[in-house]
Amino acid sequence: MASQSRNMPEQEHSIKVRSNELFIPDAPTETRVTRPFPDYLRETPAQPLSLGIKAILWILGIVVALLFVTALWRVVHRHGTHRSAHRPAVRSTWEPSKPAQRFANPSPAAFSA
């Protein structure tokens, strides 16, 4: 404890020095005035898309739409496969020809006394 209280003034001094170093205001930088967005729009001419790009976008749109419709169809018809589980089970036509034979002595001859 004694060593901490003795070093306290040095720590406070170094903290104050570092805080001044951290918050030194930067030299003012050169700021340029920006133009409003409508000015940029007026200067930039609109260029229509080429026919090749339009065709590619249409094809991609059709593929995405087909995938979407397929996903919806699978969700709607998902329960169609589970309906067969609700049907009653088919009875088997196999019947045993003879009932199982029971032996009079259930223990094997090797264990008989």
pLDDT tens digits, residue range 46-72? 889 999 999 999 999 999 999 999 999
Signed CA dihedral, 75, 76, 81, 85: sign only: positive
- The residue whose two tokens read 């001859």 is 109
Q: Where in 42-109 does DSSP place strands (E)?
A: none
Per the model's pLDDT, the better-predicted residue between 24 and 65 turns out to be 65
Find out whether 112 and 105 touch, Cβ atoms under 8 Å.
yes
